[in-house]
Amino acid sequence: MLILLKSVREAASSEDGARVLVDRRRPTRVPKESLELRAWLPELAPSHELRRWFEERPSQWQPFRRRYLAELSAEKAEQALTELHTIAAGESTLTLLTAAREQERSHAAILRDLLQGVRKPPSTSGPAHAAAGGRIRARRNR
């Protein structure tokens, strides 16, 4: 399945498949009809506190990611995540819509990773990281 990330300000296209808004609020300057939504799942957005925290600390991607994943374990968020999985299962393409300026460093990117089965960021998993960690430990033990 192809999962796209798009700004709510971008026009809908035939390649979008099912379009799901994953922000807490619907954008005020974008007509609801132009969004062409299959669903709006505001429970999947980070809390206002976490969103503000990350806006003040944009370099803190990994702590944001951990905190956001923890928020997704709340009951309402889990229900919305189940609904998102159900929508995704019936589509060849899913587009996650957000007002975030950088889609690749937003909660929508984390949701995409979850849908694709990615649990850890690429930089902290896999044989390359394990090998590098072993070399570092070996140097420290000398």
Beta bridge partners of 20: 39, 96
3-state per-residue secondary structure call for 21-43: ECCCCCCCCCCHHHHCCCEECHH
Decide if 121 contacts 65 (C-beta within 8 A): yes
Q: What is the pLDDT of residues 116-139, one digit of tens each?
A: 986 544 444 444 334 334 433 443
Q: Quote the pLDDT of residue 134.
A: 42
Q: What is the pLDDT of residues 54-75, one digit of tens each?
A: 999 999 999 999 999 999 999 9
Q: Quote the pLDDT of residue 86.
A: 94
Decide if 110 contacts 35 (C-beta within 8 A): no
- Is pTM beyond 0.85? Reply is no
Distances (CA, A) of 17 to 43, 109, 135: 21, 17, 45
Find all residues with CB under 8 Å of 31, minimum gap 6, and list them.
none
Q: Quote the pLDDT of residue 119.
A: 52
Domain chopping of the chain, boundaries: 2-140
Q: What is the pLDDT of residues 1-36, one digit of tens each?
A: 899 999 998 999 999 999 999 999 888 788 788 899
Q: Quote the pLDDT of residue 32.
A: 81
Q: Quote the pLDDT of residue 112.
A: 96
